[in-house]
Amino acid sequence: MLARWIDPAGIPFIALACAAAALVAFFVSPLCRSFAALVGAVDVPADGRRIHKKPMPRLGGLAIFAGFIVTMLLFADLDAQLRGILIGAVIIVVLGCIDDVIRLHYFVKLLFQFTAALVAVLHGLTIEVFSNPIPVGPAQIHLGILSAPITILWIVALTNAVNLIDGLDGLACGVSLIGSLSLLIIALAMQRPEIALIMAALSGGCLGFLPFNVHPAKMFMGDTGATFLGFILAAASIQGLFKVYTIISFAVPFLILALPIFDTVVAVFRRLLKGSNPAHADRGHLHHRLIDMGFSQKQAVALLYAISAVMGITAVVLTTLGEVRAILVLLIMAAMVAIGYLVLWSRISRPRANGGTPPGEDPEDRPPRDAALPAARPEDDGHA
């Protein structure tokens, strides 16, 4: 069955898998919303970090997972590595569901995240060799005994990185969708049908859930969805890209996942410099800064989507056309993002006649007259 995915005739099969995942996620989302309200998995805006103004259910990640897992069970050949990825994903999702209801300590979450990553590694998912990006020394770097720990750290780091950018309506879901589509295109170009199928299932899950998550959101994906997306993206990048022994094996995963990686690195250093716990939530993420600059939620998310798209397109070009053309594309796309940034900033900087909506606030953000959802504990730190 895998052989027919490699030739162009197999592309409709990948598209069918994506559509199946999208349909499952779309129709399961309302059920997840009702279930979240029933069990009290509701995010209440009880502090200054939160952008939303009303209680919001946050188990939408279950819909993404449902679309993904159903598609994989129906369409995929479950080899050892894929079984390890799916078992690890189940651990991550169960952990996320519990955390979205009762808010676990960060140490407990890290323990189970390391366990999920270890399960994938024990099933053969490891970074063993990648190319040396510096033109000095060997062309390939063999990790040896460091292979397993580096693989586990990469998976856990990216799992949390996607969770950290889940701070605006549709942001983490959309960025993950862009990243998974980029990996899907690269997998097809490199004739890696097994990776293409994983990314098709993940893309479909995001597509099916996104209508419920874009601003104004009807529900959040919660830690359930954000950590699941990070885990699958990390695992797929190992299985599909770090095993290509060229310069792209180093650059491409970082390009595709540049936004969550950058935001996480900055957040960790920012908190360490302040003398606070790196796992302690704050209001200093990139999306918070954009809101503070005057962007509305829709504008900030659109800008971050554009940045992710630039990185994704550059990764695709780097894979298919080479380094020089990829750099040219990166410069062109960066210029387009800069122009778009200036246009948006000029719009929100104009004086508003008749006391219009303040910068950074959408009319939909205003508190509702009544709240239909039950209250949750104010110490929850979900949708940041």
Q: What are phi and psi of 56, to 5 degrees?
A: -140, 130
For 317-338, write each residue's pLDDT tens digit: 777 766 566 566 667 766 766 6
Q: What is the pTM of this model?
A: 0.79
Give the number of other CB atoms < 10 A from CB of residue 29: 26
pLDDT tens digits, one per residue of 262-296 = 877 777 777 777 777 666 666 666 776 777 777 77
Helix (H) or strand (E) holding 141: strand 140-142
The pLDDT tens digits of the residues spanning 197-208 come to 999 999 999 999
Amino acid (one-letter) located at 96: G
Question: In which region does residue 137 sit, left (phi positive, over 0), alpha (psi from -120 to 50) or beta (all else)?
Answer: left
pLDDT at 207: 96
Label residue 40 left, alpha or beta by phi (over 0 means left) and psi (-120 to 50 means alpha): left
Q: Is the pLDDT of residue 357 over 60?
A: no
pLDDT at 29: 95
Q: What gap in Å lies between CA 380 and CA 57, rounded to an integer?
A: 12
Mean pLDDT of the chain: 78
pLDDT in tens, 86-121: 999 999 999 999 999 988 888 899 999 999 999 999
**380 vs 62 pLDDT, higher one:** 62
Query: Residue 69's closest CA among 40, 52, 91?
Result: 91
Q: What does each C-alpha distance from 156 to 3, 150, 175, 383 come to in angstroms?
A: 32, 10, 18, 19
**CA angle (66 as vertex; 242, 186 as ends), nearest 5:** 30
Residue 318 CA to residue 325 CA, distance in Å, equals: 7
The residues, any chain, with a CB within 8 Å of residue 328's CB and separated by 6 or more, are none
Q: What is the DSSP letter of 57?
A: E
- Flag whether pLDDT at 238 surpasses 70: yes
